[in-house]
């Protein structure tokens, strides 16, 4: 069993970004700048945002955190997004999810300027990505691709089973890995809550790569996978003990894997690294660099 070390991979990608940024700023360009909007006080979001801000510093970016109370009205939030969209000193904008219930997530995502949408959630980017056009790719899915690439895990022509069809992970990763992308050309099965258990087992037991993003601790057990499987665990579940675990029964499943991502230190780190890649791309687009 080999670990797909997201920390190590992310550090290497971020160091590469920092070198590029140093080159740009030495030639007189301004520093890349990302803005994060955080609404309310949600403990996990605090920790994710902290990690994004710290990593953006390591990448050589400036960052701004805009915090709003839980009670902010949707119209006010949309007005703030419009301000950031129109601010030429910000390259990328993240509106941290989840949002309070009274705010329509779709309205918010659609309000972000596609050219600043470093999360890749705007329909314009999602559509372009799906069609194989240049786009900001959804950060978690993109991070998984970069991690597979870093460790030279074969993807082309492999059978990949994705568990969970969320718009932020399952759906985009299944599209990206099946597309004719640099890291792609797999044969992908997308399974979800309505997939009969028997069918799910048929699929996972012959899969070369299993990607699980369901948010249930221990969902993937050793009897569900074949020897030599590559396992990508997207889950982040906080147990009552405070321990963070993924969606995989790691102790038992890891023994059967050729590669497996740890939680923490796996996909979470790569999500943040991919956001940095997207921010650099937004900046390069702004200045017509490459
Ligand atoms: N608009 C938006 N964009 C996002 O990219 C976004 C979001 N909303 N909402 C929530 C998810 C989750 N997410 C993570 C960020 C960092 C870690 C991370 O750094 N994890 C550490 C552990 C730290 C911890 O989990 O507390 C690790 O895996 O080693 C994980 C997950 C970004 N998300």
The pairing of strands 237-238 and 244-245 is: antiparallel
Whether 205 has a binding-site annotation, put simply, is no
The answer, yes or no, to whether residue 196 has pLDDT greater than 90, is yes
3-state secondary structure of 226: coil
- Burial 243-259, CB ≥16 within 10 A → b, else e: ebbbbbbbeebbebbeb
- What is the structure's pLDDT at 23? 98
Residue 237 β-bridge partners = 245
Whether 260 has a binding-site annotation, put simply, is no
The single residue of 80, 91, 96, 116 carrying the catalytic annotation is 96
Annotated active-site residue 96? The verdict is yes
Q: Find the 7 Cα to ligand 1 centroid distance in Å.
A: 13
Residue at token pair 């460790």: 151
CA 179/CA 45 separation, integer angstroms: 31
**pLDDT, tens digit, for every residue of 62-81?**
999 999 999 999 999 999 99
CA 265/CA 233 separation, integer angstroms: 11
Q: If you take atom 15 of ligand 1, which residue's CA is the nearest one?
A: 48
The pairing of strands 229-233 and 33-39 is: unpaired
Radius of gyration of the chain (CA): 19
The answer, yes or no, to whether residue 226 has pLDDT greater than 90, is yes
CA 218/CA 216 separation, integer angstroms: 6
CA 223/CA 211 separation, integer angstroms: 16
CA 81/CA 31 separation, integer angstroms: 21
Average confidence score pLDDT of the chain:
98
Whether 266 has a binding-site annotation, put simply, is no
Annotated active-site residue 52? The verdict is yes
**In terms of C-beta density within 10 A (0-12 exposed, 13-18 middle, 19 or more buried), how is residue 128 classed?**
middle
Chain-centroid distance of CA 40 in Å reads 22
Percent of the chain residues past pLDDT 70, beyond the cut: 100
Q: CB under 8 Å to 222, separation ≥6 — which residues?
A: 249, 252, 253, 255, 256
Question: How confident is residue 198, by pLDDT bands cut at 50, 70 and 90?
Answer: very high
Query: What are the structure tokens assigned to 68, written together?
Result: 């709003």
Query: What are the structure tokens assigned to 230, written together?
Result: 């590559």
Q: Find the 270 Cα to ligand 1 centroid distance in Å.
A: 9
Q: CB under 8 Å to 189, separation ≥6 — which residues?
A: 159, 160, 161, 162, 203, 207
All domains of the chain, ordered by start, with CATH?
A: 28-114 (3.40.50.10860), 139-268 (3.40.50.720)
Chain-centroid distance of CA 249 in Å reads 22
Closest alpha carbon to 3 in 147, 163, 136: 147
Dihedral sign computed on CA atoms, order 9, 11, 17, 19: negative
Task: Evaluate: CB of 245 within 6 angstroms of ligand 1.
Answer: no
User: What is the DSSP-derived secondary structure letter of residue 115?
Assistant: G
The pairing of strands 229-233 and 237-238 is: unpaired
Task: Evaluate: CB of 265 within 6 angstroms of ligand 1.
Answer: yes
Q: Find the 48 Cα to ligand 1 centroid distance in Å.
A: 4
- What is the structure's pLDDT at 290? 78
Q: In terms of pTM, does the model score above 0.95?
A: yes
The answer, yes or no, to whether residue 5 has pLDDT greater than 90, is yes
């Amino acid at each position: 069993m080999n670990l797909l070390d997201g920390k190590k991979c992310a550090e290497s990608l971020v160091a590469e970004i920092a070198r590029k940024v140093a080159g740009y700023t030495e030639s007189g360009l301004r520093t890349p700048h990302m803005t994060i909007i955080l609404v309310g006080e949600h403990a996990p979001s605090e920790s994710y945002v902290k990690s994004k801000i710290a990593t953006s510093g390591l990448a050589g970016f400036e960052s701004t955190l805009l915090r709003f109370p839980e009670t902010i009205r949707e119209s006010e939030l949309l007005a703030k997004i419009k301000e950031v969209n129109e601010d030429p000193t910000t390259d990328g904008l993240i509106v941290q999810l989840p949002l309070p219930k009274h705010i329509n997530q779709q309205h918010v995502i659609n309000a972000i300027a596609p050219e600043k949408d470093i999360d890749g959630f705007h329909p314009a980017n999602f559509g372009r990505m799906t069609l194989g056009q240049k786009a900001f790719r959804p950060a978690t899915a993109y991070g998984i691709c970069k991690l597979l690439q870093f460790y030279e895990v074969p993807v082309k022509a492999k059978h990949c089973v994705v568990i969970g069809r969320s718009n932020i992970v399952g759906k985009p990763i299944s599209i990206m890995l099946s597309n004719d992308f640099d890291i792609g050309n797999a044969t992908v099965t997308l399974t979800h809550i309505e997939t009969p258990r028997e069918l799910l087992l048929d699929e996972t037991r012959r899969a070369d790569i299993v990607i699980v993003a369901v948010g249930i601790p221990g969902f993937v057990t050793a009897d569900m996978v074949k020897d030599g499987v590559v396992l990508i665990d997207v889950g982040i579940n906080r147990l009552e003990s405070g321990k963070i675990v993924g969606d995989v029964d790691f102790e038992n499943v890891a023994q059967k894997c050729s590669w497996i991502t740890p939680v923490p230190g796996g996909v979470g780190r790569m999500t943040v690294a991919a956001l940095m890649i997207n921010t650099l791309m937004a900046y390069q687009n702004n200045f017509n660099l490459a």
